[in-house]
Structure 1
Amino acid sequence: MQAIWNDVVIAESDDTVVVEGNHYFPIESIKKEYFEKTDFTSFCGWKGMANYYSVSVNGKTNKDCAWYYEEPNDAAKKIKGMVAFWNGVTIK
């Protein structure tokens, strides 16, 4: 699987986990040079508190387009250490 934004592969892995239709990529599979942690958070009742990254590629930034659960609830422990994408990031 690949996560692509602005025509650049920003994450790639054969070991994604699908939860609620979203592919979660292992943190080791993201290309860290494109990612910057943000202060944005959101809360999911069964997964817990999500933290976000913005992705910058070729002079363009996609704000808060990647999220992860640093300390997911027990029900979502299989996505600990994994990153998912939205807001224009293509998964294929």
Structure 2
Amino acid sequence: MKAVLAGTVIAEADESELVRIEGNWYFPPASVALGALVESPTPYTCPWKGAAQYYSVQTEGELHTDYAWSYPNPYPSAFERVGTDFSGYVAFDPRVEVGP
């Protein structure tokens, strides 16, 4: 699976390594291209996953604000709900093409 924005591959991993949560594919941290994500100050806390870290996505000199997010330290109960530890996994805005 790949996450692609403006022709740039942001993340790539085998589908078996990804986690599907609420319709979004979450990529393992090691699968994200170096320098593709820039931390954003946008605050958000999911009632069942915990505090999110938003990222802007860097492509060819353009910064796409808040096009990605992850949960660095999800609530322990979220692991039970999802069925696996997804700490630090990265999901993308629908404007990022995610597919095979």
| TM-score, normalised with respect to structure 2 | 0.86
Give the alignment of 1:61-72 within 5 angstroms: 61-72=63-74
Q: Where does structure 1 lack aligned partners over 5 or more consecutive residues? A: none
Which residue is 1:10 aligned to?
10
Distance in 2 of aligned mates of 1:87 and 1:64: 11
Q: Where does structure 2 lack aligned partners over 5 or more consecutive residues? A: 80-84
Which residue is 2:82 aligned to?
none
Which residue is 2:22 aligned to?
20
Distance in 2 of aligned mates of 1:36 and 1:87: 18
Cα deviation for residue 70 of structure 1 reads: 1.1
Which residue is 1:85 aligned to?
92
**Per-residue deviation, residues 6-56 of structure 1 (Å, max 9, x unmatched):** 111100011100000100000000002121111112111100110111111
Distance in 1 of aligned mates of 2:94 and 2:75: 24
Cα deviation for residue 81 of structure 1 reads: 2.1
Which residue is 2:42 aligned to?
40
RMSD over aligned Cα, in angstroms? 1.1
- Percent identity between matched residues is 39
Distance in 1 of aligned mates of 2:89 and 2:75: 14
State how many pairs are aligned: 92
Distance in 1 of aligned mates of 2:20 and 2:6: 23
| TM-score, normalised with respect to structure 1 | 0.93
Distance in 2 of aligned mates of 1:48 and 1:6: 30
Larger strand proportion of the pair: 1
Cα deviation for residue 85 of structure 1 reads: 0.5
